[in-house]
Structure 1
Amino acid sequence: MVEESKIRSFLVLAPGEQAFAAALASGADALVLDLRGDFAPAREPAAALLRLPRPPGLRLYARVAPLSCAAIDADLAAVVAAGADGVFLPEACGGPSIQHLAAKLAVQEAECGRPDGATRIIALATQTPAAIFALGRYAGASARLEALAFDVEPLRRALGAEPASLASEALASTCPASPFALARAGLLLGAAAAGVAAIDGPFAALADARGLIAECRAARRDGFSAKLALDGAQIPPINQTFVGARPAL
């Protein structure tokens, strides 16, 4: 398990100077620069942002390409050399995927002179059907593993489910056999078994402040210690809700 700190909120953003400046002012405990395929040209701008001075205590992560994508090596080369604190791994599927990524990170750290193990891993662990069956296979995978993060929008698309089917407090109560509710419960159990933190997924309804607060409270009650955010306005409610939560990050 990683050493304790007080990360409650992760703000996900596409790399860009204006977005980064706004994110720094949001009060988020950590920023996640998204390098998904749609933003492939943002790899170098992201590296430049990672090199900028940052407020004390702020953690900077990059969401890199999946292991199945050739772009992951270029992503890692850019963000590890730039000093990212960690990477978010999309489509993570149990311990073997973490071990694979850890080996790649070790190579990149050696090549740019960073200490071995300096770059942490957060697994986006509920994005594919196969990943759900691997949630109990993260224990002992790597000392780099920092947390499992909940995100089921890719899973919804893989299943062909309606957008309204996504896991929520109401769904968990009325339909506990939903694949999304099962994924949420499995992630919490898998994170606990691996001795790492569980990060709740983003709340997509940006204008629904009451809904965000309700979801944050439900997440903390169930054992999540932090939450992803899609907008800086979501950070204050998230931080307020998760104050004093189990400090696993």
Structure 2
Amino acid sequence: MTGPAVTRVLVADDQTVVREGIVMLLGLLPGIEVVGAAADGEEAVALVARHRPDVVLMDLRMPRCDGVEATRRIRAGYPGTEVVVLTTYADDESLFPALQAGARGYLTKDAGGEEIARAIADVRSGAAGLSPQVQLRLLERLSGEPGAVGAVGPVPTGQSSGQSSGRAGAEPPDGLTAREAEVLGLIAEGLSNSEIARRLYVSPATVKTHINNLFAKTGVRDRAQAVAYAFRNGITGSPQ
């Protein structure tokens, strides 16, 4: 009889004490096998090539090759490996470049073992593994609340940073249909396919079709990049 699936994880952090602590913590979690530990981004990419882990827990600020660049190279060269950022920083200058590079998860280092395990499981299942703090930050940026300053990427022509394509009467960008934009907004809110299906009263298969279509139209590769795209274009989900 086949036992439960084991998720193979690589840890990348330049601080020895932190790296060893994360490895020790993961070793106590059921269903997780640590296959390697890297002291910088260059070593992380090399170890991914050697071990082909399912998930990399990636620090951002490391020597030689930082976490954003390492994430970009891993996602481009080894698309079967997901990346969850585990960092001290949750500022916009750290968060959005990491998501745009292909990270599917983003946690801060005050996360506990249960939260880390949940993020690893989420990205393995195709969902986004974002901490509540990061989800709140993304929603603040999407809603344009005061205090949500800065921008990620260029503002589309004819749309200022204060405008929102999610507003009534605005045309969705890149040829998205209104329904596809609605699904994209719900992805940005952190909903799974089944939750979106329930919210919109459609089948999960229909949701998957919408997601495939909107990914193709927007050029995003995964849900994390879809969240960043939704922010840039002011796309929000349907009302409760």
TM class by shorter chain equals 0.3 to 0.5
With the length of structure 2 as denominator, give the TM-score of the two structures.
0.34
Structure ID, larger Rg: 2
By relative contact order (CA 8 Å, sep 6+), the higher-ranking structure is 1
With the length of structure 1 as denominator, give the TM-score of the two structures.
0.33
